[in-house]
């Protein structure tokens, strides 16, 4: 099985993401995790001569790496700058420089104002000095993809001038992110064909959303190493994402890497937290939703020999499959979630819970697994006898400086009643309107509210389901406890109230009969 090196550049190229700047201790922590837990082969941790804070971070990482035997895996981007980058890296304790040279004639002439031969001589001088200082050298051919497209002979001239040096790796960047996989394959095959004894890396950018595809093409065409960043961080549209590259190399090309797949979700969350750049919910491998089945037919298929699963099994990446709850769920999704929670329901109970979730899903984007016990409790505790007291319509309003107003229309034993009232809150106004109907139209007393408790599942958001539990006291001294469940807090309390009224009304009607 062929082997491919993985070089992670989150702490260098990834930090060029707009708004991202890791503190020295954060860089050290991420470096430790990438080396110890994720087991990347190499780690590019900084650009030389950026700042004193960067120098402190690189020194800390190199000190740690030396203690743990990782120092030859730590790399720092350096420049053709009369040895200044080499001295800077050496002062930090580093042993590897990724020397940035020009891979296109346009960059060489218009940015450096040097001829190709002059640039080669400058590079040779840096390589010779690095060797004397005990540093090994890898060489970036910056803008190499443009060089191959516009000035192919220049690229070969650079290689001819440098092929006899101790440069360990020649790194081929698609700096502007404008290649497609066909071009990538063509250009790399030429490089490998002309220089079969050289070690080539490929460094992708994602401007056309082709970074992963180009990385795949590069490996297929003979590259021995690829560059990635956690969560695809990087300048402009970013780089090839670590998790996606690992998955596609393993599953599509069947090549070997040293990465520990079970740690990919962990490092994604860490970098997400410290970079402040959120991972898209549909980001492959590490996105929040990528292992969530929404349609009930998919859950049913999974029950029947994993019909809707591919090689990207969530357990590979430290994840687990989830089955979304909502209007599209279906019975199979419900059963999967109940099974995970250790809850067993009869088929009829499951049908009622499914119906309730579908109703809630029409009003709420999704129902979480944490909501499910509340829903089950709400459905199973609700008496299935026909309601004698029904809500026909209501309107509650609130405004700054004015008391809330409630206008309601209810049906009690087949008769419609309407009332309005104000209150100290929306629910208070609603209950006062109900009390008015019971007093003025039915000449009946209304149980007293003794306790009112609201709770939401742990980690709930603004659209979380709300469970309202209300304790009522009747004049007889009896206590009634009812609960309501809804995404709207007022609606949840109203449902609890109507459960109580139906309990009372059924007893009144029963005694009258």
Alpha helices in 43-143 (DSSP H): 52-68, 84-92, 105-110, 116-132
Averaged pLDDT for residues 221-236:
98
Give pLDDT tens digits for 15-26. 999 999 999 999
Confidence of residue 181 (pLDDT cuts 50, 70, 90): very high
Could you count the other beta carbons within 10 Å of the beta carbon of residue 356? 18
- The answer on pLDDT for 376 being more than 80 is no
- Does the pLDDT of residue 373 top 90, yes or no? no
Task: Write down the catalytic residue from 15, 54, 75, 142.
Answer: 142
Question: d(Cα 58, Cα 368) in Å, to the nearest integer?
Answer: 43
Cα–Cα dist 232/369, whole Å: 30
Q: In which band, very low, low, confident or very high, does the pLDDT at 302 lie, cut at 50, 70 and 90?
A: very low
Radius of gyration of the chain (CA): 33
How many CB atoms lie under 10 A from the CB of residue 193? 10
Overall average pLDDT of the 258-265 stretch: 96
Count CB neighbours of 473 within 10 A. Answer: 14
Q: Determine which one of 12, 42, 73, 169 is catalytic.
A: 12
Q: 158 pLDDT band (50/70/90 cuts)?
A: very high
Provide the token pair at 443.
């000449």
What pLDDT score was predicted for residue 307?
53
**48 contacts: CB under 8 Å, gap ≥ 6:** 76, 77, 78, 79, 84, 85, 88, 89, 97
Distance (Å, whole) CA 312 – CA 310 = 5
Q: What's residue 237's pLDDT?
A: 97
Across all residues in the chain, what is the average pLDDT? 88
In tens, the pLDDT along 421-468 reads 999 999 999 999 999 999 999 998 889 998 888 887 665 566 677 888
Measured distance CA(41)–CA(353) in Å, rounded: 50
SS3 of residue 469 by DSSP: strand
| 346 band by pLDDT with thresholds 50, 70 and 90 | confident
Contact partners, residue 398, CB within 8 Å, separation at least 6:
404, 425, 426
Residue 109 has pLDDT above 80, yes or no: yes
Cα 311 from chain centroid?
Answer: 20
Known catalytic residue at 12: yes
Active-site residue, 149 included: no
For residue 360, pLDDT over 50 is answered with yes
Write down the pLDDT at residue 354: 78
Match 């994993």 to its residue by tokens.
306
The DSSP element (H or E) to which 272 belongs, if any, is: helix 264-275
Look up tokens 């007393």; give the residue.
445
Nearest to 10 by CA among 277, 331, 219, 407: 277
Q: How far apart are CA 361 and CA 210, in angstroms?
A: 36
Tokens of 288: 């929040």
Q: Which residues partner with 446 through β-bridges?
A: none
pLDDT tens-digit profile of 59-98? 999 999 999 999 999 999 999 999 999 999 999 999 999 9
Q: How much is the pLDDT for 366? A: 54
């Amino acid at each position: 099985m062929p082997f491919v090196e993985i070089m992670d550049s989150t702490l260098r190229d990834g930090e060029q993401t707009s708004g991202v700047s890791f503190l020295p201790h954060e860089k050290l922590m991420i470096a430790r995790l990438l080396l110890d837990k994720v087991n990347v082969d190499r780690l590019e941790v900084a650009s030389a001569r950026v700042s004193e804070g960067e120098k402190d971070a690189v020194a800390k990482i190199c000190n740690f790496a030396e203690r743990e035997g990782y120092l030859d895996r730590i790399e720092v981007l350096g420049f053709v700058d009369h040895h200044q980058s080499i001295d800077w890296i050496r002062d930090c304790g580093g042993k590897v420089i990724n020397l940035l040279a020009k891979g296109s004639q346009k960059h060489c002439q218009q940015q450096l104002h040097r001829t190709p031969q002059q640039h080669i001589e400058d590079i040779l001088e840096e390589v010779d000095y690095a060797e004397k200082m005990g540093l090994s050298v890898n060489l970036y051919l910056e803008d190499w993809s443009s060089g191959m497209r516009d000035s192919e002979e220049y690229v070969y001239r650079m290689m001819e001038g440098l092929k006899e040096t101790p440069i360990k790796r020649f790194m081929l960047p698609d700096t502007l992110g404008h290649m497609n996989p066909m071009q990538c394959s063509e250009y790399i095959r030429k490089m490998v064909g002309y220089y079969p004894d050289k070690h080539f890396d490929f460094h992708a950018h994602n401007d056309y959303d082709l970074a992963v595809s180009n990385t795949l093409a590069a490996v297929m065409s003979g590259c021995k190493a690829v560059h990635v960043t956690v969560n695809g961080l990087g300048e402009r549209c970013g780089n090839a994402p670590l998790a996606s590259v690992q998955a596609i190399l393993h599953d599509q090309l069947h090549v070997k890497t040293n990465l520990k797949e079970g740690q990919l979700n962990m490092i994604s969350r860490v970098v997400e937290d410290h970079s402040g750049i959120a991972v898209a919910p549909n980001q492959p491998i590490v996105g929040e939703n990528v292992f969530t089945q929404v349609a009930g037919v998919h859950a049913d298929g999974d029950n029947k020999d994993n019909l809707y699963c591919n090689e990207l099994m969530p357990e590979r990446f430290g994840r687990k499959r989830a089955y979304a709850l909502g209007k599209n769920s279906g019975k199979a999704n419900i059963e999967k979630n109940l099974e995970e929670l250790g809850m067993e329901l009869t088929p009829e109970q499951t049908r009622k819970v499914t119906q309730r979730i579908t109703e809630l899903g029409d009003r709420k984007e999704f129902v979480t697994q944490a909501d499910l016990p509340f829903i089950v409790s709400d459905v199973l505790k609700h008496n299935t006898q026909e309601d004698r007291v029904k809500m026909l319509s209501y309107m509650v309003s609130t405004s700054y400086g004015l008391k809330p107003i409630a206008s309601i229309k209810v049906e009690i034993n087949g008769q419609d009643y309407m009332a309005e009232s104000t209150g100290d809150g929306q629910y208070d106004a609603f209950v006062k309107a109900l009390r008015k109907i019971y007093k003025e139209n039915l000449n009946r007393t209304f149980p007293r509210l003794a306790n009112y408790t609201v709770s939401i599942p742990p980690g709930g958001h603004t659209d979380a389901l709300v469970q309202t539990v209300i304790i009522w006291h009747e004049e007889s001294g009896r206590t009634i406890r009812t609960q309501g469940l809804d995404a709207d807090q007022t609606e949840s309390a109203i449902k609890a109230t109507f459960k109580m009224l139906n309990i009372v009304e059924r007893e009144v009607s029963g005694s009258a009969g």
